[in-house]
């Protein structure tokens, strides 16, 4: 049997603690799967004494993750600290320079420094695995990097943030407030240390940037993503969507278009009958559209200790099974030198349907003026309804909800600007994309 593979883990939060616990619970299975002993030998975290429900006595303790990263005690450095800069970044670089394979769940780090780190790993003949960074327990990185090698991918999209999907599901099903649902997601261990990263769409953007690179063979390009979060989605939007036969999901979408690659993260209305609309709670889903397979759907638990630890264990097992003298496969699917530059599509050229919710003064002609602005911009309406804000209200403020047929974003913005000029709006208009082909 091969020699023991020695693991050092930096970061013992929700995911790190789950990895340690699962190593203890599943040691026999891991040995069988890997064909060799795999042992955690050292750990590092901020506070040794914190109660995490796991025993640390048998591990070498490092106060400083940098010391662990470059230590001769380990073969694989597992980075579960998080954060795009600072200690996590320094530690991963130190580990690669010291000749250690790296496993990380850190999407922010890879979205920002993925190409640099991949280059460093390739130069040193090391593996840098990051299955846990995208969509929790779903093995989508391995699928893109290995299984779909013969496919040409045209679009990849999905629900990539468990916290947001949990919030939107609970708001819709239980009529609960945004704040209450977010609190629940935090208690359940789904949310980021700062949940703004979840709700404002940045976490989805980090993950999408990695999927895009792997799907299209381009350099990682986080700053080219158009990002909107769910912080402005109200119960009124969720109810109106439901009445029209849609659910609202935070989608990350990357597609090859005529003008380049379009990457966007935004709340999106999907038909209630679509598969993606049935993906609820903390579950994530990724759809990959390819020439050979049509649509491939991967779905599973997207956040939380066990799901994310499952991906970390898979990466460790992969390293354990790799041959010591083998030239390891490239981190981002293609060698860094072969990655194409990123060409950004024009977002305002995006074509699709739109949901628009307007809060207006209930005066004669308002409804007609809204419809006229749409017609002026050649926008064909699928539906338009005017409602009281509450069921008991008879006059005063009204809501106009409309959905459009296929149009482009620039026409929608021109129409909205005209509606604003007409002076009938009492609140900011709500605009949500409709993705009928999801």
Nearest of 245, 10, 210 to residue 118 by alpha carbon: 210
Report the site for ligand HSE in 333-392 (rule: CB under 6 A). Answer: none
CB of 283 to ligand HSE, least distance (A): 10
Whether the CB-CB separation of 362 and 403 falls below 8 Å is answered with no
| Contact between residue 104 and residue 131 where contact means Cβ atoms under 8 Å apart | no
Least distance between ligand HSE and beta carbon 163 (Å): 3
Owner of token pair 């003008």: 259
- Which of 22, 69, 74, 191 binds ligand HSE (CB under 6 A)? It is 191
Q: Report whether 124 contacts 96 (CB < 8 A).
A: yes
Nearer to ligand HSE, 164 or 366 (CB): 164
Is-contact 385 332, C-beta < 8 A?
no
Q: Does 203 bind ligand HSE (CB under 6 A)?
A: yes
136 touches ligand HSE by CB under 6 A? yes
CB of 172 to ligand HSE, least distance (A): 17
- For residue 424, with 0-12 CB atoms within 10 Å meaning exposed, 13-18 middle and 19 or more buried, which class applies? buried
Minimum distance of ligand HSE from residue 284's CB (angstroms): 7
Q: Locate tokens 């819709």: which residue?
A: 172
Q: Among this protein's residues, is 207 annotated catalytic?
A: yes
Contact 167, 174 (CB under 8 A): no
Between 130 and 355, CB nearer to ligand HSE: 130
The string of DSSP codes covering 54-92 is: S--TTSEEESSHHHHHT-TT-SEEEE----SSHHHHHHH
Nearest distance from C-beta of residue 24 to ligand HSE, angstroms = 23
HSE at residue 438, side-chain half, CA atoms within 13 A, is 32
In the range 79-108, which residues lie near ligand HSE by CB under 6 A? none
- Given 3, 49, 55, 207, the catalytic residue: 207
How many residues bind to ligand HSE according to rule CB under 6 A?
Answer: 11
Residue of 16, 229, 302, 333 that binds ligand HSE (CB under 6 A): 302
CA pair distance 156, 127, nearest whole angstrom = 25
Residue nearest to ligand HSE (CB): 163
Only one of the segments 118-126, 157-165, 334-342, 394-402 lies at the binding site for ligand HSE (rule: CB under 6 A); that segment is: 157-165
Binding of residue 315 to ligand HSE (CB under 6 A): no
User: Could you tell me the smallest distance in angstroms from the CB atom of residue 29 to ligand HSE?
Assistant: 24
| Interface region with ligand HSE, contact rule CB under 6 A, candidates 161-169, 328-336, 418-426, 428-436 | 161-169
Q: Does 303 bind ligand HSE (CB under 6 A)?
A: yes
Residue 283 vs 424, nearer CB to ligand HSE: 283
Identify the CA nearest to 235 among candidates 4, 389, 435: 389
Burial class (CB in 10 A: 0-12, 13-18, 19+), 32: exposed
Q: Are 81 and 104 in contact, with CB atoms under 8 Å apart? A: no
**Residue of the chain from 162, 172, 229, 305 that contacts ligand HSE (CB under 6 A):** 162
Task: With residue 44 as reference, give the H or E element that holds it.
Answer: strand 38-44
Contact status: 161 vs ligand HSE (CB under 6 A): yes
Q: Is 163 in the site for ligand HSE (CB under 6 A)?
A: yes
Q: What minimum distance in Å lies between the beta carbon of 335 and ligand HSE?
A: 27
Cβ-contact 282, 303 below 8 angstroms = yes
Pick from 79, 192, 228, 435 the residue near ligand HSE by CB under 6 A: 192
Q: Does 190 bind ligand HSE (CB under 6 A)?
A: yes
Burial group, residue 193, by CB count within 10 angstroms (0-12, 13-18, 19+): exposed
Q: Which residues bind ligand HSE (CB under 6 A)?
A: 136, 161-163, 190-192, 198, 203, 302-303
Active-site residues, by number, are 207
């Amino acid at each position: 049997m091969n020699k023991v593979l020695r693991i050092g883990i930096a970061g013992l939060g929700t995911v790190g603690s789950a990895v340690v616990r699962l190593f203890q619970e599943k040691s026999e299975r891991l040995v069988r799967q890997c064909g060799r002993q795999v042992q955690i030998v050292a750990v590092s975290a901020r506070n040794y004494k914190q109660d995490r429900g796991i025993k640390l006595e048998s591990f070498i303790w490092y106060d400083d993750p940098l010391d662990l990263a470059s230590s001769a005690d380990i073969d694989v450095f597992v980075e579960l600290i998080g954060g795009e800069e600072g200690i996590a970044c320094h530690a991963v670089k130190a580990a690669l320079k010291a000749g250690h394979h790296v496993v990380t769940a850190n999407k922010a780090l890879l979205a920002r420094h993925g190409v640099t780190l991949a280059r460093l790993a390739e130069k040193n003949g090391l593996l840098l695995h990051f299955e846990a960074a995208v969509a929790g327990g779903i093995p989508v990185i391995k699928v893109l990097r290995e299984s779909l090698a013969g496919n040409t991918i045209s679009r990849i999209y999905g629900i990539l943030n468990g916290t947001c999907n949990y919030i939107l599901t609970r708001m819709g099903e239980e009529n609960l407030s945004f704040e209450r649902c977010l609190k629940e997601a935090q208690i359940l261990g789904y949310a980021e240390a700062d949940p703004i990263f979840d709700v404002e769409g940045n976490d989805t953007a980090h993950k999408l940037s990695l999927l895009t690179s792997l799907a299209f063979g381009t350099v990682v390009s986080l700053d080219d993503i158009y990002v909107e979060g769910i912080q402005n989605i109200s119960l009124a939007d969720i109810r109106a969507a439901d009445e029209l036969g849609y659910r609202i999901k935070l989608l990350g979408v990357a597609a090859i278009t005529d003008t380049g690659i379009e990457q966007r993260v935004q709340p999106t209305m999907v038909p209630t009958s679509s598969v993606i609309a049935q993906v609820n709670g903390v579950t994530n889903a990724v759809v990959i559209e390819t020439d050979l397979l049509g649509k491939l759907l991967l779905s599973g638990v997207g956040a939380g200790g066990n799901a994310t630890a499952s991906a970390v264990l898979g990466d460790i097992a992969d390293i354990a099974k790799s041959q010591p003298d083998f030239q390891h496969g490239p981190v981002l699917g293609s060698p860094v030198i072969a990655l194409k530059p990123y060409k950004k599509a024009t977002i305002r050229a995006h074509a699709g349907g739109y949901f628009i919710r307007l809060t207006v003064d209930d005066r004669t002609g308002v409804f007609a003026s809204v419809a006229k602005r749409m017609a002026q911009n050649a926008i064909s309406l699928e539906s338009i309804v005017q409602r009281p804000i509450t069921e008991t209200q008879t006059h005063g403020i009204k809501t106009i909800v409309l959905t459009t047929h296929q149009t482009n974003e620039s026409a929608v913005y021109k129409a909205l600007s005209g509606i604003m000029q007409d002076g009938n709006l009492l609140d900011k208009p709500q605009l949500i994309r409709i993705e009928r082909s999801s």
